[in-house]
Amino acid sequence: MILRFKHQSLDLSSRTHIMGILNVTPDSFSDGGRFHRFEDAIAQGMRMIREGADIIDVGGESTRPGSDPVTLEEELSRVIPVIGSLTQRTEVPISIDTYKSEVARRALDAGAQMINDISALRFDPEMKRIVGQYRVPVVLMHIKGTPKDMQKDPSYDDVIGEIAQYLRESIQLAQEGGVEKERILIDPGIGFGKRLVDNLNILKNLSEFSILECPILIGCSRKRFIGGILDLPVQERLEGSLAALAVAVMNGANMVRVHDVRESKRVADLVDAIKRVD
């Protein structure tokens, strides 16, 4: 559970760690356009660090349901200046949220220290080689389909078992590319090709993924299933996001990927304290 970066390590067994979401896109489902401008992105990244983020995850392409991919050049123009600036301002590790190997390579060269790949190295066959070559931590996420079509009637016979098998195969794929297992985190992919009931099952049974012997990352923040249950628009889903986060932490999440860092850290710290009681 020791996640090693170039200049530091994070002990993921000591407490729940916080990954702050920094979308430098005009069209992300929750905050699209808010941090598209360079100055706004840097200010938000530094704000999340002050509020307690352990990692900042920078993304330049929306992967909301129904979204279309952006060009390589557009994604690079969005993320590389932000990553370069943040790494000069902070020692907090910067993660690049991408499934494109060239974006990952350029981001790592600009100072990023981690890769968050929604495709678990499957959309771009070169990605596993990049991760192995640079020896950085990587998040392998489960997705059913692609962002464009993933919510078109997804179905499972055994949602937990099928996700676990996909992630098991993804871990093997990563290792074949030279990625050391201790650098791998797994993410069951809340909202990525899942029905509302599937998302709830993942949260309820999250501990079952511990069989894969990798740290578990979970991202529930402001997602559609919360709005579906509470009948609330995306800007009013804070309480629901925090409730889902608390359940995830209680059931074994080692890291949570969030928009609202200050509030999420407070909840995670409280649940961690409860878990430590004998």
Active site residues: 223, 257
CB 62 within 8 A of CB 32: yes
Which residues lie below 8 Å from residue 35, measured CB to CB, with a gap of 6+? 22, 23, 24, 41, 44
Give the position of tokens 């070559």.
133
CB 91 within 8 A of CB 53: no
CA distance 266 to 105: 34
CA distance 105 to 62: 19
Give CA angle at 82 (104, 144), nearest 5°. Answer: 45
The secondary structure of 157-191, three-state, reads: CCHHHHHHHHHHHHHHHHHHCCCCHHHEEEECCCC
Parallel, antiparallel or unpaired: strands 2-4 and 9-11: antiparallel
CB 251 within 8 A of CB 208: no
Parallel, antiparallel or unpaired: strands 114-117 and 138-141: parallel
Q: Which token pair is 117?
A: 């790949």
Element at 107 (helix H, strand E): helix 101-110
